[in-house]
Amino acid sequence: MNKNSLLTILLSLIINLNTFCQTGGNQNRSITGVFIGKSFGEFANTVSNITPYTFYYIEEDVKDLKVNLQLEDSNIREVLYIIFEKTDLKFSIDNENRVFITKGTPLNLRLSSSFFIQTDSIDNGLKIKDIDRSYSRNKLYVIGESHNQIDTVEISGSVFGYDTGNSIPGAVIYDQSRTISTITNSYGEFSIKLPSGRNTLFIQNLGGVTERRLVQLYNSGRLDLEIEENIISMDEFLLMSERNANIGRTEMGVQNLNISSIKKIPAVLGEVDIIRGVLSLPGVQTVGEASVGFNVRGGGADQNLILYNHSTIYNPSHLFGMFSAFNSDVITDVDLYKAGLPAEYGGRLSSLLRVSGTYGNKEKIKVNGGIGLLTGRLSIDGPIGKNTTFAIGLRSTYSDWLLNFLEENTSFSNGRANFHDFNFNLAHNINDKHSLRLNAYRSKDGFQFDADTLFSYENLNYNASWVYSAIPILNN
């Protein structure tokens, strides 16, 4: 080789080396450039082109982030610290120059040194001891050798507790995808047949958490399992609904039913029946089928005083006793006095049934309704101005069609039966201690079996009350 050839080769190497150093071969990790008014996405794209770093982030997290920097041979970490200084963005950089940007907490890129290590395979069994329980669910346990693989293998072993080392009887071991399961005996031992290959075993301790183990099966063998023994138990809770009612009120023999409890009772023909809710209380019996009357502790049905918003209701039923006279949409609660009636409600020997109507809500107008086989109902309640609320309930029947199913030429075949009722309640708060309440209730029943005979009865009540409370009135 002559001198000219050698000189040419050296010059070529110098030129290529200089070019490599200037471009960095895309390996120069320092950042140089002017980034004024750039979005973070533009900054990341530029840096990715001139350095080996690749950025991973959610665009929504950085959409409002601007970069205003002039850099010269700057370190990537220092630059990112400056950019993210007044934000909650964090970054992590792994060994492959990947930059992960997250909100709040930086991404943890470190794993246990044994995370991806597969256990040693043996011919006749595998004993799991001293394994970090944090990663045991992700390890692959291999039983047998691949060159001796058979179609179906039988795995046996025992289930122990991590902390105590005691055997766990009654633990369930199953393969969810193949619906194969077994249960440990009184000594914590089990045996299960599985197809060879990759399987996922679930171990469920009675009342505890479910563990998972990944196994690669080539031959039959032994697999002892250690699982958590923690029992999932509920915290203590107390039911204290009206626990002081029996000792905190002066009345005796009083039971209360709110409308939410009454509505849980099965409805008859689409109607929630207040009286049938009362029949669920101890000491109260029905007077018979297809009737809403009731007897309390041996008394007669006529010995009960029934009040709706302080007005007497003489007949609490509609349509031959099939429905009660109270529209459940405008009722709040029911009090039944079975003993010790207050003196102001004298005149009855057996009981007092006091039904309280709602006066509406203070927030907005609400409409409620329903259609049944024989009846339809509609209720409206809400505010009128700042200090006044109202509630209106309407209910009627279209039950004549039922009598048309009766045989011709009978006294009932051309009969008619109908009812309707109307409720109106109004409450006005004068101040935080005084309120005025107005109530109106009307119900009417009519039925006809013969052309010349007509029966009807009705309830008509109006009342006004002035309510004074020593405690400030918070709501109606």
Architecture field, domain 22-103: 3-Layer(bab) Sandwich (3.55)
Residue 15's pLDDT is 39
Domain spans in the chain, listed from the N-terminal domain onward: 22-103, 136-227, 265-476
Cα 256 from Cα 335, distance rounded (Å): 5
Greatest CA separation found in the chain? 142
Cα 273 from Cα 264, distance rounded (Å): 11
Cα 87 from Cα 75, distance rounded (Å): 20
Residues of the chain with pLDDT under 50: 7-9, 11-26, 114, 116-131, 474-476
Residue 438's pLDDT is 94
Stretch (H or E) spanning 48: helix 40-50
Put simply, whether the predicted model's pTM sits higher than 0.75 gets the answer no
Cα 339 from Cα 38, distance rounded (Å): 83
3-state secondary structure of 138: helix
Residue 290's pLDDT is 59
Query: What is the residue whose two structure tokens read 């246990």?
Result: 112
Are 290 and 317 in contact by the 8 Å Cβ rule? The answer is: no
Cα 194 from Cα 176, distance rounded (Å): 12
CATH for 136-227, options being 3.40.50.170, 3.10.20.340, 2.40.10.10, 2.60.40.10: 2.60.40.10
Cα angle 129, 135, 140; round to 5: 75
Q: Would you give the distance in Å from CA 68 to the centre of its chain?
A: 48
